[in-house]
A and B are shown apart, each in its own frame.
Chain A
Amino acid sequence: MTLLHRRLAALLSGVIVLALLGRAVAFPVDGDKTVLPVATELNEDALDKPREVFQSERTGAKSYLVNLGDLAFNSPGLLGEVARQAGVSCGTCHVNGANNARFFMPKMSSRPGTFDTTGPLFNPKANNLAFDPVRIPSLRGARYLAPYGADGRFASLRDFVHNVITNEFAGPEPSPATLDAIVAYIHDVDFLPNPSLGPAGRLAGKITEAEHRGEALFAKPFPHDPALSCAGCHVPSSGFVDHQQHDVGSGGLFKTPTLRNADFNAPYFHDGRFDSYNQVVDYFDRTFQLDLSAQDKGDLVAYLTAVGDGVQPYERDGAGATLKEINDFSTVLATAIPAGDKDIVALAVDTIGRELRELTEQYPDRKNTSVSGGEQQRVLARNGLKELVLTLRRIEMAVAAGRNADAATELRNYRNLMAAAVPSLLASAEPWSLFNQDVHDRHYAALRQVMRSRHISR
């Protein structure tokens, strides 16, 4: 999970680095534009995060490698300087391994949920000098979805990830172990379960008439191109793909995207041009002269919606969810400390410490005017989180100095704090935290109001 507000706000300082905006603006709004596109939550932490489901958790616990990959995936330290400075990690765009449909960066996005990976921001050398943002894809079930990239330019996930790090984000060459870990993590991020899907991608359970008709239509050859059908490309199977690239008239060759969990993957197509299944179906109807009736279209949409569903796509963000993620990250330390693995300990301390500092900000201090009450609870919550940050730093210092036993002692302290004391302090302070909807709304309304005053003056 990433706390979006700071990261995205900070990201804009990244945009400023390239002087794209001409002058330093401290608020993430394009120079003369005061309004961001609807549905953009640029400067606000979303309270709902995509739910992450791990394949390995169904049968047991996640492995060290998967946790390490998850950690690296959420670490800005993995990427190049601009991203690092802005606090951007893989997880900023692929929140919890899904897509961040609210992501919008002036000059780098055409609409929310898109990003120009060959733009000038993170690696000028990778700049193709064209404004060609693409949709940020969900990575759920990515292991079924080779080749990678909307145009399918990489057959191997490992090569794709390597390219993202070293080319798109100008990061340092990752160690083979780190790369393995990220790939293991992505492989473990599963589709959300969908009880309406049976074996071989057939609808199962309670199915409506419309869904039934839609399923049949989906498999029916196109009237003017009998070699084609929806199902011929989106093959009903574990991934609903054919692993091929096709030209469906959208501007080039693109890989068939999955339809699983696709209800949550809008905007659709490589460039995110469509908002809804209705628009997609209309597009195919026009492009391939399918002569679909209004009912046909409705049936296809009903079918797509049934196939694209998933159980509990979002979960409420709160201290609990953040602590769970942090605890998963922290398991890495139990292996890396005895091994005296300085790099991994440093990565873990940096990433977890950053998350803890961001979590601290969810409990406003006394200077914050949008919250009143619960002052003592907030103080104790903040204090507890700060103690954790420092305990982690002591671990890092000890390992760096070769004092692994001291580090192990500190890790025990850290775990004790994490086991009971800190969760209960956070729970007591929750009503006055930004996890509380009212407090959250008041805080961001206040911020927006202040920032707006800046723009009026322009």
Chain B
Amino acid sequence: MHKMRVAACLALLAASAGVRAANAGALEDGAERYRPYLIEGVASALEGARALRERAAAADLPGAKKAWLSARAGWERSEVFTAGFVPELDAQIDAWPNADSGFHAIEAKLFGAGNTDVAADATGLVEHLNDLHGKLKDITLTPQGLLDGTVRLAYEVGESKADGGESRISGTSLDDMRNNIAGIDFAYHTIFSTALNTVDGKLDEMVTNRIEQLEAIVATPDLRHVNIADLRQTSEELVIALQSASAKLGLQRPTLEAQAR
């Protein structure tokens, strides 16, 4: 009798260890499935940056603006990754308000001053993105790092950006938000959703539901129609759900700031 109980316990333990291992495997597979999306996002940012450099050299202001917007979109979609894995680069490329390099420096010239005198900045941006792009196929994508990035971004999405936030000049804030949410959606469903569903279907449903809600909130014609209170509440509920998910997935509780671990 006693022996049987021990055996049962051991079996249970083995089983649960198996779940965790399987889980970890599933998450790592998920992270790998995320890689092509990431590479594609950074590639499109890079392509935009190259076009930007070229259009600026040709003194084509509308063309340069268009290229900037496209580079920006690719970057924002990858923010789940950049915020978690390359925070230094993220800070450089996304520096504001009076950055001397990066997206916002170029933005101020193109959209603010209305000149195409951005050759040096565009070249710098291309170099940074090119560097990063080259590293992406070998970089280790840990599920923990991707969850951290997802959670940080989910929190940030709830920041009131009704005043235009960081991209006040080009007015891309709403697009930034949409691209951020698209990035969260993709990362969650590619990496975490299936694994979470097997351990806690309700929680998976809650995360999915909050992401959908966020998508609905920013599906407005313009920034001023975004319901700020709803946006904040939903973003916070999403973060909380993802924090609960971390335990169920055998991961550490995500921190809300890069470097805070």
A386 adjacent to B256 (CB under 8 Å): yes
Q: How far is the CB of A347 from chain B (nearest CB, A)?
A: 11
Whether a CB of chain B sits under 8 angstroms from the CB of A451 is yes
In the complex formed, the residue of A with least CB distance to B92 is: A367
Within 8 A of B (CB), among A316-373: 350, 353-354, 357, 365-370
Contacts of B163 in A (CB 8 A): 6, 9-10, 12-13, 26, 28
Contacts of A365 in B (CB 8 A): 257
B162 adjacent to A367 (CB under 8 Å): no
Whether a CB of chain B sits under 8 angstroms from the CB of A233 is no
Contacts of A370 in B (CB 8 A): 97-98
B240 adjacent to A366 (CB under 8 Å): no
B162 adjacent to A369 (CB under 8 Å): no
Q: How far is the CB of A120 from chain B (nearest CB, A)?
A: 16
Partner of B171, one of A6, A26, A86: A26
Given contacts A383-B256, A393-B237, A450-B169, are A443 and B111 in contact (CB under 8 A)?
A: no
Partner of B229, one of A17, A84, A369: A84
A10 adjacent to B162 (CB under 8 Å): yes
A27 adjacent to B168 (CB under 8 Å): yes
B258 adjacent to A379 (CB under 8 Å): yes
Contacts of A383 in B (CB 8 A): 255-257, 260
Whether a CB of chain A sits under 8 angstroms from the CB of B127 is no
Which of B35-43, B66-74, B184-192, B220-228 has 4 or more CB atoms under 8 Å from chain A? B220-228
Contacts of A12 in B (CB 8 A): 163
A10 adjacent to B171 (CB under 8 Å): no
Contacts of B114 in A (CB 8 A): 457
A397 adjacent to B171 (CB under 8 Å): no
Contacts of B91 in A (CB 8 A): 366-367
In the complex formed, the residue of B with least CB distance to A360 is: B159
Whether a CB of chain A sits under 8 angstroms from the CB of B75 is no
A387 adjacent to B112 (CB under 8 Å): no
Whether a CB of chain B sits under 8 angstroms from the CB of A162 is no
Whether a CB of chain B sits under 8 angstroms from the CB of A85 is yes
Chain B window 111-124, contacts with chain A (Cβ cutoff 8 Å), 1 for yes, 0 for no = 11110000000000
B229 adjacent to A77 (CB under 8 Å): yes
Given contacts A26-B169, A453-B108, are A368 and B236 in contact (CB under 8 A)?
A: no
Contacts of A456 in B (CB 8 A): 112-113
Q: How far is the CB of A375 from chain B (nearest CB, A)?
A: 8
Chain B window 136-159, contacts with chain A (Cβ cutoff 8 Å), 1 for yes, 0 for no = 000000000000000000010011
A382 adjacent to B257 (CB under 8 Å): yes
Given contacts A77-B229, A368-B96, are A390 and B168 in contact (CB under 8 A)?
A: no
Q: How far is the CB of B116 from chain A (nearest CB, A)?
A: 12
Contacts of A84 in B (CB 8 A): 228-229
In the A-B complex, the 10 residue pairs with the smallest Cβ-Cβ separation, listed nearest first, are: A26-B164, A453-B112, A446-B98, A9-B163, A457-B114, A26-B168, A393-B236, A386-B256, A366-B91, A454-B112
What are 15 A-B interface contacts by the 8 Å CB criterion? A85-B162, A85-B228, A86-B162, A357-B159, A368-B95, A369-B100, A379-B259, A380-B257, A382-B256, A390-B243, A447-B97, A449-B97, A450-B97, A454-B108, A457-B112
- Identify 15 new A-B residue pairs, CB closer than 8 A, beyond the known A13-B162, A367-B91: A6-B163, A9-B163, A26-B164, A77-B229, A368-B95, A369-B99, A379-B260, A380-B257, A382-B257, A387-B256, A393-B233, A397-B240, A443-B97, A447-B97, A450-B97
User: Residues on B close to A: CB < 8 A?
Assistant: 87, 90-91, 94-100, 104, 108-109, 111-114, 155, 158-160, 162-164, 166, 168-169, 171, 222-224, 227-229, 232-233, 236-237, 239-240, 243, 255-260
